[in-house]
Amino acid sequence: MLQFILMGAQAAGSIMSSYAQRKSFQQSQLAAGLEQQQLQLRLQQEVVASNQQGLANLDMLEQTLASQRALSAARGAMPGVGSTLSLAQKSVRGYQRDEKARALSMDFLKTQRKYQMGMSSMRQTGQKFKYGVGMFKQGMSQLSTMGMQAGGGGIGGIGGMSGRQGLLTGEIGG
């Protein structure tokens, strides 16, 4: 009778341990999901900031070109000819250079965020695997222990001795 009470207590302990592991796993999965969302949000914020910077640069170019046209008109120079044209082209080239650098920087940030999301996903997959292995080991251990308590020798056991114990002592297969 005492043996069945002990087996019941052991089973209850195993169930509680499994429940705690499951809850811990669920919490880690929730945290990983939040990390993914945070990385995606950060990427979206960086894209918006980059686009705003591009618009500000374009606005600045328009103001610069308007100022150059006004100065040329005040001097009586013909717009689009000679030094007036050269100055406008220089401003446009500067804007284009800045835009290429901004786009390159944005591509780098996108690649970096995608890498971070991939690493987060790999950690999440590793946690799933670790959880599965832990549950399998716990189940196998529980089966082995219950078999030994019932007098069956555990999994693969002979005569009240587990297979591994028998091999170590030389009592199996010899």
Q: Over the stretch 19-51, which tens digit does the pLDDT of each residue have?
A: 888 888 888 889 888 998 999 999 999 999 999
The tally of domains found in the chain comes to 1
Q: What value does the mean pLDDT take over residues 74-83?
A: 78
Residue 83 lies in a domain: yes
| 106 lies in some domain | yes
pTM confidence score: 0.59
Sign of the torsion formed by the C-alpha atoms of 9, 10, 11 and 13: positive
Whose CA is closest to 136, among 34, 39, 18?
18
122, part of any domain: yes
Average pLDDT over residues 91-102: 93
165 is a domain residue: no
pLDDT per residue as tens digits for the range 109-168: 999 999 998 998 888 888 888 888 888 887 787 777 666 665 554 444 444 444 444 444
